[in-house]
Structure 1
Amino acid sequence: MVTITLQCPHCQSEKLVRNGRAPNGKQKYLCQTCQRQSRDNPTLHVCSEERREEILRAHEERSSLRGLERTFGVSRQTVIVWIKKGRASLPALHETLIEPDGSEEATVLELDELWSFVLKKTNQVWIWIALCRKTRQVVAYTIGDRSEVTCRWLWESISPLYRIGHCFTDFWRAYQAVIPEEQHSAVGKEAGETTHVERWNNTLRQRLGRFVRKTLFFSKTFVMHESCLQLFLHRYNRECVIRFT
């Protein structure tokens, strides 16, 4: 009789115990020495760039990570790695913008803040957005609380080409403290001057479930929360370039 001794691929320990099965049916093992998992006869799973793009697009159409795992047969941990690596390779947001044509209308901005949370609803995370009214592109964003400090981060992150334009916001006091008075108009929703940025907020909530107010979707870490937002912003701005041109 032949006896096969299994070793941990990470630390070469032989202290392995069975630990359930993978989605493809293969046996999983837990190493009692290094506490890392491995599986029986692992195979290299390589996705093409086209396949990876298809899966990430599905994620931005309200599919959960577990839903992607069931639909495409790819581990949700793999998708998380793709999202984090994709964020690291993104260019600066201002590089995705259409350059203003010099008209006054091209630099009119609508600003708003969007409530979200990480892990639990007491960990509030506010997303501040500056949207160009003409191109519908997101000119700048920042993440933080709802204070004047975070509002100032947003204002300073706006490209100088757009910072000279007029800004429409709601009546939140932070805007009045940060934006120069001659460039700022605080209006109510009935005025219709912030319609586009409010519609953008709705688009974000429709496309990424983790930003919905009442949902089973949520981000467990701030890094994942911001990574998904950044990938969405860059894709959205590139789509606006195609539509606008």
Structure 2
Amino acid sequence: MAFYIGDCSQDSAHQVWLRLPTSYRQQATFITDNNGEAYRGIIPTAQHQICPNGSGQTNAIERFNCTLPQRVSRLVRQTLLFSKKLANHIGAIKFFICHYNQEVIR
């Protein structure tokens, strides 16, 4: 769907929101963690559900966040493949996401 490399600020949340397809922004329900400050004012209240810690509703995204550094070695600082350029990180993440989504679809 969309991704953005940044911090956990409201500006970063806004960038992700802008990159989502219009149909998702209009119809989808978004489940987020307790970092509600970043999403407040970005995601419409009717479409936003904040899940409490330990509820298990964010398992899929947390699993993906753990899978990224395991599969994309340039994200791990103490490897020979670590990239110093942000553009290389973004390219590697984009490539991995596309490849990962194709594996899941099969």
TM bucket normalised to smaller: 0.7 to 0.9
Q: Tell me which protein shows more helix as a share of its residues.
A: 2
> For residue 211 of structure 1, what is the aligned residue in structure 2?
75
Match of 1:26 in 2: none
Aligned residue in 2 for 1:240: 104
Find the counterpart in structure 2 of residue 116 from structure 1.
none
1:169-226 Cα distance to aligned partner (Å, 9 max, x none): 11211112311111111123311111101111111121112334xx403321111111
2:54 aligned residue: 190
Shift of 1:240: 2.0
Partner of 2:3: helix, strand, or coil? strand
Would the aligned equivalents of 1:189 and 1:195 in 2 still touch at CA under 8 Å?
A: no
Q: CA deviation at 1:238?
A: 1.6
Find the aligned partners of 1:198 and 1:181 in 2 and give their Cα distance: 23
Alignment of 1:169 with 2:32, yes or no, is: yes
Q: How does 1:140-179 map to 2 (within 5 A)?
A: 140-163=2-25, 164-172=27-35, 173-179=37-43
> What are structure 2's unaligned runs of at least 5 residues?
none
Q: How does 1:12-51 map to 2 (within 5 A)?
A: none
- Between the aligned partners of 1:183 and 1:209, the Cα distance in structure 2 is 35
Give the RMSD, CA atoms, in angstroms: 1.5
Structure 1 or 2, whichever has the larger Rg, is 1
Alignment of 1:120-135 (within 5 A): none
Cross-structure match for 2:94: 230
Contact 2:34 2:53 in 1 (8 A): no
Work out the number of aligned pairs and report it. Answer: 102
3-state secondary structure, aligned to 2:5: strand
5+ long unaligned stretches in structure 1: 1-138
* The structure with more strand, counted as a fraction of residues: 1
Deviations 1:111-169, CA, capped at 9 Å, x for gaps: xxxxxxxxxxxxxxxxxxxxxxxxxxxx2101123321111110111112322211111
2:99 corresponds to which letter in structure 1? R
Normalising by the residue count of structure 1, what TM-score does the alignment of the two structures yield?
Answer: 0.39
Distance in 1 (alpha carbons) for counterparts of 2:24 and 2:7: 24
1:90-113 alpha-carbon deviations (Å, 9 max, x no partner): xxxxxxxxxxxxxxxxxxxxxxxx
